[in-house]
A and B are shown apart, each in its own frame.
Chain A
Amino acid sequence: MNWLIAILQGALFIILAPLLAGWLKYCKCRLQNRKAPSLLQPYRDLLKLSNKQPVVSEQASWLFITAPYLIFSATALAATVVPLVVVDLPTSASADVIVMVGFFAFARFFLTLAGLDIGTAFGGMGSSREMTISSLAEPAMLMAIFTLTMTASTTNLSGAIAHVLDEGLVLRPSFVFALFALILVAIAETGRIPIDNPATHLELTMIHEAMILEYSGRYLALIEWASQLKLMLYGVLIANIFFPWGIAETFALKDLGYGLLAILGKLALLAIFLAVAETLVAKMRLFRVQEYLSFAYLLGLLGMLSHIILEASR
């Protein structure tokens, strides 16, 4: 029963991810006075791409073909670790939050290799930028997550969320810092606006798009889907760690439905915030990204410090 629900929840993650991307695009369009595409447009795009014949360069090795599958499955596995509608999952007992970060690193490794594989200038440029950013973002993310895990004294995400739920509303200074750090890292890692512009293929400053420029057809569909999944994963992580109220604690059908509604509402709200931020903020110069990420790291460090200084029992 537990495993069934865990698998169902993973599937739900994968199915809902394009919807979140569609909703985000809808909010952004409305804020910028443009006519918005339908909420289901990302699904249509994925369908269209997967029906097209992929074109692969003759210089491509086997790595280029297998990478999209690896990236998608690693991201999907990471998604099963994160509690979406219910805590106390068998999957998050077997893999903790560090494994999740490891899955992200795995997917990114293959994405950058695939970017290098064809040998175009753009691919290599995008790969090197992605690696630069992720090498700075990952420590910041781990710092923010360690703050949470030190509070809950477990690295198991279900356990940590259950711990936060059990304690009720406690004002924790360390969580404020960790929340801001995690938001900054999430924006950097999912390639949203101050770092990377997800809506363009025609900029010299592009990062994610530069790596996947050579992909087409179903390979592109898989990679797009994986990045939508990653966006949703970060959203769920932020929503469920810091505002876990509403998530189901038992497997009763009523609780599960309530949990699903709660997480959908939280994600919709989060997407509105992201859309507002993306509308207000201009894209950053590439060489200022390290300042941005070192600020995120500093916030994570402060969160940890204030956990030890202000909260820890001694």
Chain B
Amino acid sequence: MNIGQTDFYTQAILSLAALVGLTSFLMLGQSRLLRLIFVFALQGFLLTLTTSLAAYSLNNPHLYISAALTLLLKVIFIPWMLRREVLQMNIHRDVQTLKNKTMVMLGGASLMVFSYYVLHPIVQTTTPAMLNALAVSLSVVLLGMLLMISHRQAVAHVVGFMSIENGLFFAAIVATKGMPMVVELGIAFDVLVAAVLFGIFFLHIRSSIDSLDVDLLNRLNEVDK
């Protein structure tokens, strides 16, 4: 497939896929929580763009609703809530450095290659553009997991979890040309509930170990040493 010969929709979807992948990498390298949340909101915005583009070009009006839901939840509500919690707990000035940032970043790059390699057999059954977008969304999922593994702050874990969901959502939009409305509403509601639950978890973690650094959880023992 030569990109010059595809239609404008495919080109735009591929460019957006690349940008979504880029935001995942940006999140992976971020050491400040507020900026991490901002990049997360940016990724949500790219998803909104993708969804509305798909709605426009596939002439599928119910996708507009899901774009609006994405905008409302992932660009405005969840980042706002996370930001408010970070500010309330006064951890926005903490700089949390990754121990080996270059290794993590290169690991992320190899995850991207890996996800492409895994999806390569699908090329027989689908169009190459779809395969590429799928590979990017799988790598967004894997990068979200890497974000959760490599960062220590609980807020970063939540952002990683949400970006995994972003990756799945992107795959769903690109591959299925829009899921049924019921499924999408269900997912949106799940994300909302998850965000609220995480807020409660933050409070509990903080009240039990007085920090949101989950590495400190290792110190909790049944027996006093």
A→B interface (CB under 8 Å)? 167, 170-174, 176-177, 291, 294-295, 298-299, 301-302, 305-306, 309-311, 313-314
Contacts and interface: CB of A to CB of B under 8 A. Distances in A.
B65 interface: no
A171 B15 contact: yes
Nearest to A301: B109
Given A170-B4, A302-B22, A310 B17 contact: yes
Given A298-B105, A310-B132, A313-B1, A305 B15 contact: no
Interface string B89-131: 0000000000001100110010011001000000000001000
A309 B133 CA distance: 10
A172 B15 contact: yes
Contact of A302 (B12, B15, B109, B135): B109
Interface string B54-86: 000000000000000000000000000000000
A309 B15 contact: no
A126 to B, nearest CB: 25
A167 B112 CA distance: 28
B25 A302 contact: yes
B2 interface: yes
B49 to A, nearest CB: 13
Q: Which 6 A-B pairs have the closest CB atoms?
A: A173-B18, A171-B11, A311-B3, A171-B15, A310-B132, A313-B2
A305 B113 CA distance: 8
Contact of B18 (A167, A174, A295): A174
Nearest to B1: A313
Nearest to A151: B3
10 contacts: A174-B18, A176-B18, A177-B22, A291-B102, A298-B106, A301-B109, A302-B21, A302-B112, A309-B116, A310-B3
B102 A310 contact: no
Interface centre among A170, A298, A299, A309 (most CB of B within 10 A): A309
Interface string B17-57: 11101100100010000000000000000000000000000
A132 to B, nearest CB: 15
Contact of A305 (B1, B11, B101, B112): B112
Given A167-B4, A171-B12, A171-B15, A306 B25 contact: no
Contacts of B106: 298
Given A295-B105, A310-B14, 8 more contacts: A171-B12, A173-B19, A176-B22, A177-B22, A305-B109, A309-B132, A310-B18, A311-B2
B103 to A, nearest CB: 10
Contacts of B14: 171, 173, 310-311
Nearest to B109: A301
Contacts of A299: 22
A247 to B, nearest CB: 19
Given A171-B15, A306-B18, A294 B4 contact: no
B136 to A, nearest CB: 8
Contact of A298 (B15, B19, B25): B25
B20 to A, nearest CB: 10
A75 to B, nearest CB: 31
A294 B29 CA distance: 11
A306 B12 CA distance: 14
A172 B8 CA distance: 11
Interface centre among B4, B8, B19, B25 (most CB of A within 10 A): B4
B2 A177 contact: no
Contacts of A170: 3-4, 11
Contacts of B116: 309
Contacts of A173: 14-15, 17-19
Interface centre among B3, B12, B19, B109 (most CB of A within 10 A): B3
A171 B15 CA distance: 7
